Amino acid sequence: MRQVGITDLYHAARAVQAVPSTNREQFCRELLWRAHVADKYVKRLRKLHAEWVDGSLRAAALAQCSIAQKGIDASDFRRCLLIVLTTFHEGYHQSSSSSGLHLVRQGLHM
């Protein structure tokens, strides 16, 4: 997955917010996986992924839902942002390689 910035976190939290609360953690894990897969696709084939675009978390989030579908409930948004940050922290680790830092999904069979 490409480097994660504040807009990536915002859009991921908004996408998570659009999902029923019982499915949010799983959806977030899938969203991070999609961004990771799209990034690998772009790097290997040197073209954008048809569905998840450029490998950014923002692009993966935007591909999953219409963020304009409801307004922002601040407390719910904070909970969703926490889900994104926690899932990112727990499910991924940074490792250094000759090509620099990259993210590797733990426990995922690809």
Owner of token pair 């908004």: 14
Domain membership flag for residue 51? yes
Domain membership flag for residue 15? yes
3-state secondary structure of 59: helix
Domain membership flag for residue 1? no
Q: What is the pLDDT of residues 27-52, one digit of tens each?
A: 999 999 899 888 888 888 888 878 77
Q: What is the pLDDT of residues 46-84, one digit of tens each?
A: 888 787 789 889 999 998 776 555 677 899 999 999 999
Domain membership flag for residue 110? no
Domain membership flag for residue 61? yes
Q: With 0.85 as the threshold, say if the pTM is over it.
A: no
Domain membership flag for residue 55? yes
Segments forming the whole domain that contains residue 70: 6-105
Number of domains in the chain: 1
In our burial notation (b when 16+ CB lie closer than 10 A, e otherwise), range 37-75 reads: bbbebbeeeeeebeebbebbbbbbbbbbbebeeeeeeee
- β strands within the chain, DSSP E: 92-97, 100-105
Domain membership flag for residue 37? yes
